[in-house]
Structure formats: structure tokens, C-alpha cells
Amino acid sequence: MLKRLLPILFFSFSSLAYAYTGSGLDDEGNPIPINQYDVVGDRILGENIPHESRLVWQRFTQVIPAQYRQEIQVFEPIDGNYGIDGSIHAISDDKSIWVVQLDIKDSVSKYDLDRTMIHEFAHLLTLRADQIPLADTDDATVRNNCRSYALPDGCTAPDSYLNHFVSQFWQPLLPVSSNEVDVSNRYQTHINEFVTEYAATNPAEDIAESFAEYVLAEQLPPASSIANKKIRFFDHYRKLRLMRKNIRANGKL
């Protein structure tokens, strides 16, 4: 979830229920969608789909090639003027079906919306089922036996992107508090370690923000700071180097 100028919340990938009567934020600060469309490949299905919704979805398909987003089977347009440009979460218990929410009200520039699309996709990339096998970490036994970084729906797989990212960059900062004041203090204290202030929220947001910078950079920065090393982190994976190349070419970035 990418937020602007609002209290920072932990990224949620739980199933949400909405009444499609308008837009804004619900009581938990999550975006209320303007509508909901099923996704088949590069198409969204529905009658009388507004032009602005079609344009944003079309842009998303241009930025994120179909082979990387097979789990995204629902698109929900949102009004970014309430402070959230995009969000993504699983809506099936086995994390096989995800919904992506994107601003259609021109609340940000086209460049920033492209960046939001890449940021949200990075959550899918790093939080999907093969990266975080399902387990209830609310169960103290499960949580205490977790030998890697624990998220609400499971422990990161030992060889997952997020587990390696946390091992390299977050160990001195654990455990993580996502309280707004703590996040601000973390960023100010370690300002050279984060690509943005929002990245200091928690490892899931940090890796998503760093991935967005990795994809959008015309040339990767020198490894002169921890923030830059986070951007270069993804380049150690041949699969992600190819993904970056394809996203940049597909979206003409």
C-alpha cells in the first residue's frame, strides 16, 4: 500500500469487504473502491466501464507484463485524493487470487502512478505464496518457531527475497514498530539507509520502495550507501534483472 501524508499503517494482505457506494477510506484507513472488475489476462470485464478506469488498467498492463501478475484477478479503481494511490492484497485464503487497487482520479502525476504500480507489484513479488508459505503467526508456537522474518500470514521462506533483504539490512532494526512517530524517528536516525521515508515503515514497504527505484533507475547507483545497496540488491538475481528489463521495455520507462 502506498500512502501520502497520512498515518502509516502496516501493509495488509487480508481479505476486505466493501459496499460499492462511493469512495474514500474505511474505518481502518484502507481505500474504499469505486468499483470492482474481474480480470482475465489483460482485460477487465464489466459493462459501461468508465474511460478513466480502462486507461489506468491499460497502463498497468503495459507496465507489468502478464506473465508476472497471474494472481491478480481483480481490479478496483480508487480515488487517490484521499491519500492512497494504490494497494494490493490477497483475497483468497491460499493467496492464489489478489486484488490491485489503483488511483483513477489523477491525484498524482503519471510518473508517480507508474511508480505506485511497480511498488504494488513488488508486494505481490515478495509476499506471494512461494515466498511466504501460509501459517498463522498469531499462534505463539508458530511465531516462536519461526526461524526467519515473521509476517501475519506466515514466516518468510529461507530463500525468499524478503528474508534475504531482512537478513542483510534490517537485523539491527528488529523488532519493527510501525507507529508513525517510530517510523519518522527510524528514518531520521538512518536517513542514508532508506530510499524514501515511507520505506522506513517496515521491511515489506522497504523492499517494495527499493524495487520501484531499482526498476525506474536508468542506471543503478553506486553502492555508496545502504539505500543504494538496497536498490542494487535485486540485481543479484538473474530473474529480477530480466524482469526489470522487461518492465522497462514493456512500459517504455
pLDDT in tens, 176-209: 898 999 999 999 999 999 999 999 999 999 999 9
Instruction: Give me the mean pLDDT over the 75-99 stretch.
Output: 93
Model pLDDT, residue 93: 87
Q: Taking the CA atoms of 146, 149, 150 and 156 in sequence, report the sign of the dihedral they define.
A: negative
- Give 121: exposed, middle or buried? Use CB within 10 Å, 0-12, 13-18, 19+: buried
- Give 78: exposed, middle or buried? Use CB within 10 Å, 0-12, 13-18, 19+: buried
* pLDDT tens for each residue of 20-40: 445 688 888 888 999 999 999
Phi, psi of 10 (to 5 degrees): -70, 140
State pTM to two decimals.
Answer: 0.89
Confidence of residue 17 (pLDDT cuts 50, 70, 90): very low
Model pLDDT, residue 27: 87
Say whether 151 sits in a helix, a strand or coil: strand
Per-residue pLDDT at 150 exceeds 80: yes
* pLDDT tens for each residue of 97-149: 999 999 999 988 999 999 999 999 999 999 999 999 876 656 666 667 788 88
Listed by start position, the domains of the chain span 2-127, 140-250
